[in-house]
Chains A and B, each alone.
Chain A
Amino acid sequence: MTSPDEITRTADRLKDALGAAADVMTASDSPVGAAAADVLSSGDSLVRIRDSKVRHAWKWLVPLTAAASVVAITLAAVFVGHWAGQAGKTAGRAIPATSGPDPAVANSPGVQAARSRVVKILGSAPYCNRSIEGSGFVYAPQHVITAAHDIAGVSWQTVTTADGVTYSARVVFYDPRIDIAVLDVPGLNGAPLRLSTQAAAPGDNAVGAGYPENRAFTAVAARIATVLRTEGTTIYQTGHVDRQVYQSRGVVQPGDSGGPLLSPSGTVDGVVVSTVEKVGVPASGLALTTSQIQADAKAAASATTPVSTQGCLGGGCAAVQPLSYLSPPSPGAGLVRQRFWL
Chain B
Amino acid sequence: MKSTSHPPRDLGEAFRLHRDDLVRLAAFIVGDRGTGEDVVQDVFVRVHQRGHPVDGDLLPYLRAAVVNSCRNAVRRLLLIRRHAEKHARCPPLTAEEAAMLSEDRRQVLAALAELPPRRREVLVLRFYLELSEAEIAAMLGISPGTVKSTAARGLAALARALKETS
Which residues of the partner chain A approach B100 to less than 8 Å between Cβ atoms?
24
Determine if A25 and B93 form an interchain contact, defined as CB atoms under 8 angstroms apart. Answer: yes
Of the A-B pairs whose beta carbons lie under 8 Å apart in the complex, a sample of 27, sorted by A's number, is A7-B156, A10-B155, A13-B105, A13-B108, A14-B112, A15-B127, A15-B128, A17-B106, A18-B128, A21-B101, A25-B24, A26-B94, A27-B20, A28-B23, A33-B15, A34-B16, A37-B15, A40-B15, A40-B44, A41-B11, A42-B12, A61-B80, A129-B88, A314-B94, A315-B95, A316-B88, A320-B38
A213 to chain B, nearest CB (A): 13
Chain A positions 300 through 342: 1 when the CB is less than 8 Å from some CB of chain B, otherwise 0: 0000000000000011111110110000000000010100000
Q: How far is the CA of A306 from the CA of B128 in the complex (A)?
A: 45
Is the CB of A45 closer than 8 A to any CB of chain B?
yes
Binary interface encoding of chain A residues 37-60 relative to chain B, with 1 for a CB under 8 A from any of its CBs, else 0: 111111001101000000111001
- Asked if A20 and B105 sit within 8 Å, CB to CB, the answer is yes
Q: Which residues of B contact A61 (CB under 8 A)?
A: 79-80, 83
B12 touches A25 (CB 8 A): no
Q: Is A77 interfacial (CB-CB < 8 Å)?
A: yes
- Looking at chain B, what size class is its interface with the partner chain? 35 or more
A75/B101 in contact, CB under 8 A? no
Contact in complex: A320, B159 (CB < 8 Å): no
Known contacts A18-B28, A26-B97: does B87 contact A57 (CB below 8 Å)?
yes
User: Hey, which bits of chain A sit against chain B, CB under 8 A?
Assistant: 2, 6-7, 9-11, 13-22, 24-28, 33-34, 36-42, 45-46, 48, 55-57, 60-61, 64-65, 68, 72, 75-77, 129-130, 314-320, 322-323, 335, 337
B: residues with CB less than 8 A from A are: 8-13, 15-16, 19-21, 23-24, 27-28, 32-34, 37-38, 41-42, 44-46, 48-49, 72, 76, 79-80, 83-84, 86-95, 97-98, 100-102, 104-106, 108-109, 112, 123-124, 127-128, 130, 152, 155-156, 158-160, 162
User: Is A24 a contact of B79 with CB atoms below 8 Å?
Assistant: no
Q: How far is the CB of B83 from chain A (nearest CB, A)?
A: 5
In chain B, what residue has the closest Cβ to A131? B86
Shortest Cβ distance from A215 into chain B, in angstroms? 18
Cβ contact within 8 Å between B156 and A2: yes
Question: Which of B45, B112, B162 contacts A46, CB < 8 Å?
Answer: B45
Instruction: Point out the residue from A25, A33, A60 that lies within 8 Å of B19, measured CB to CB.
Output: A33
With A and B bound together, what is the CA distance between A319 and B89 in angstroms?
A: 12
Give every chain A residue within 8 A of B98 (Cβ-Cβ): 24
Contacts of A33 in B (CB 8 A): 15-16, 19
The residues of A that contact B95 with a CB separation of less than 8 Å are 315
Q: Is the CB of A41 within 8 A of B9?
A: yes
- Chain B residues within an 8 Å CB radius of A11: 127, 155
> Within the assembled complex, what's the spacing in Å between the Cα atoms of A36 and B44?
10
B16–A18 CB distance below 8 A: no
